Amino acid sequence: MGKSQNVYDNEIFFEGYKEIRKQENNYNILQEQPAIKSLLPDLKGKRILDLGCGYGESCSYFIEKGAQKVVGIDISKKMLEVAEKENSHMNIEYLEESMDDIDKLSGKFDIVYSSLALHYIEDFKKLLMGINNLLSEDGLFIYSQEHPLSTAHEKGQRWTRDENGMGAHYNLANYMESGKREVTWFINGVIKYHRTFSEIINTVNECGFQIEKILEPLPSEEDIKLIPKMVQDFHKPNFLILRAGKK
């Protein structure tokens, strides 16, 4: 198995992604981030590893909440350049590494955290075993990914829409076929990996974790006022978020 694809260093992809992140209100800000952060414990004195740290915003957040040491890794040089510029701190270390290579890391962490990155990884079990090895005895693994109902999609229209263009229902297909998906997001050929709920949950348990909580966040009434199309998320959630303790 080769290294994960690095689309974030593609200029067109990076610029498109940057424009989304500039928006005052988007799905990350309104849904995913509040949900994943709700699963964090008290961070005072904690050592945290952020997998797929991107711009380093979460790394800065952890320090603000009292973390002792934060290591952020990302495969993208462009993302880390932004992180070093906008979210540097004496107690944050950024490393240009693939998540496929976390076995190169040393030391122990109290929390391994990852926001919307693990669906880019082919060998989920190998990664989880590596995460478990890096966690301290009472360590926590907290991560989010695109919802399995979303990653299942291969081709055709995702939604059947009403006369107003709103999603009336989601067109689910190929859900039980785990594996590689090639999608178009800013550029063609973006590679993600689909896993069913049972595969995700069983793999997490098999790799030495005890699942403590699973979230599938939904928009609030206020969110829907800001982004009206979020009402369709009551048909299909966008994110799966999981907190697991080391057994």
3-state secondary structure labels for all residues of 34-55: HHHHCCCCCCCCCEEEEECCCC
Give the residue among 77, 79, 72, 28 at the shortest CA–CA distance from 53: 72
In a domain, 180, yes or no: no
Q: What are the Cα distances from residue 83, in Å, to 43, 125, 199?
A: 21, 28, 33
Cβ-in-10-Å burial (0-12, 13-18, 19+) of 231 comes to middle
Q: Residue 33 belongs to what H/E stretch?
A: helix 33-37
Whether 131 maps to a domain, the answer reads yes
- Within a domain: residue 173? no
Report the chain's C-alpha Rg in angstroms.
18
At what angle are helices 197-206 and 124-134 packed, to 10 degrees? 40
93 part of a folded domain: yes
pLDDT in tens, 145-200: 999 999 999 888 889 998 888 888 999 999 999 999 987 666 566 889 999 999 99
The two tokens of residue 50 are: 């952020």
Give the range of the structural domain holding residue 32, as residue numbers without chain letter. 7-146+196-246
Section 78-87 average pLDDT: 93
Q: How many CA atoms lie within 13 A of 178 on its CB side?
A: 11
> According to the model, what pLDDT value does residue 186 have?
62
> 189 lies in a domain?
no
Residue 65 DSSP symbol: T
Q: Please report the pLDDT score of residue 154 as a whole number.
A: 86
Domain harbouring 206, CATH code: 3.40.50.150
Of 185 and 11, the structure prediction assigns the larger pLDDT to: 11
Closest CA to 233 of 17, 27, 25, 35: 27
Query: Model pTM?
Result: 0.92
Give me 27's structure tokens: 């799905």
The number of folded domains in the chain is 1
159 occurs within a structural domain: no
Instruction: Output the pLDDT for position 95.
Output: 97
- Residue 1: pLDDT band (50, 70, 90) is low
Answer whether residue 187 is part of any domain: no
* Inside any domain, residue 165: no
**Candidate from 25-34, 90-99, 204-213 with smallest mean pLDDT:** 25-34
For residue 69, give both structure tokens.
């040491």
